[in-house]
Structure 1
Amino acid sequence: MSLRPFHLAFPVHDLAAARAFWGDLIGCREGRSADTWVDFDFYGHQIVAHLVPEMAQGPVGANPVDGHGVPVPHFGIVLEKEDWQALADRLTVAGVDFGIKPYVRFAGKVGEQATMFFRDPSGNAIEMKAFADLDQLFATA
């Protein structure tokens, strides 16, 4: 089975803020756009910020994982370790408020991964992760 790019659409309350965050800070190239949406190249995948100005930020659920409350829902991507570290450093310098600061989850165990959680300007929860060994992505034992 060959890997294919995924598509994800999500709500934002301000397209200018979305462009600044996803384009300038995260580094996603902008694709097509209209007055109410913007496509971004999210590491080879298509994400689309759809303008929903009246969106309300309701309560967000969380599940315990490795001693942290992981926000639900969330989305993200698995990066190469060097790219993950560069992004973590860039976000730290930019003063991004991490919901879960960059750290190594499941250290020394099956599925060991570097992870971090933060929110975009519209409150969407994002997880970026990396594996020293990508074969651990779906490992169970």
Structure 2
Amino acid sequence: MSLSPFHLAIPVYDLNAARHFYGHVFGLPEGRSSDHWVDFDFYGHQLVIHEHPKTPGQQDAHTNAVDGHNVPVPHFGIVLEWDQWESLGERLKAHDIEFVIEPYVRFKGEVGEQGTMFLFDPCGNALEFKAFKDMSQLFAK
């Protein structure tokens, strides 16, 4: 499967904290930037953090129940290879990141079984990182 890179621009009310989080904690390579925005190579996709006043969604996260956990909505993230997902979880733990949902296997033994973890960036944007041992399960019903 060949994918085109996506472009996602998100609001951050503390550009320096968000730049440190995505660049240092995640280790994402930085691209172009200005005094008000920064591009990152988000696993081959373009993630841009834009300085913006705090939004209601960043202040008061809504959640929906999924597999017995409260999943923050909205959220974004990426599907990684299993080894990458495990390594990222360890990297985030080493940086003492507080998880909304600790890394675990969701839908264990069911269609769509996947590793997942949820966290917030320093500006309240919710992120999910997931992986499938069997990538054919990505869109399975």
Structure 1 residue 2 displacement after superposition: 3.8
Unaligned runs of 5+ in 1: none
In 1, Cα distance between the equivalents of 2:40 and 2:14?
15
Matched, 1:11 2:11: yes
1:35 partner SS: coil
What corresponds to 1:88 in structure 2? Answer: 89
Higher mean C-alpha displacement, 108-117 vs 58-67: 58-67
Q: What TM-score results when the alignment is normalised by the length of structure 2?
A: 0.95
Correspondence list, 1:123-138, <5 A? 123-138=124-139
Correspondence list, 1:1-141, <5 A? 2-52=2-52, 54-56=53-55, 57-140=58-141
2:96 partner SS: coil
Provide, for residues 41-96 of structure 1, a one-character-per-residue CA deviation record: whole Å limited to 9, x for no partner: 000000100001x3144322111100001100000000011011011001112111
Aligned residue pairs total 139
Structure 1 residue 118 displacement after superposition: 0.4
Unaligned runs of 5+ in 2: none
Q: What TM-score results when the alignment is normalised by the length of structure 1?
A: 0.95
In 2, Cα distance between the equivalents of 1:94 and 1:58?
23
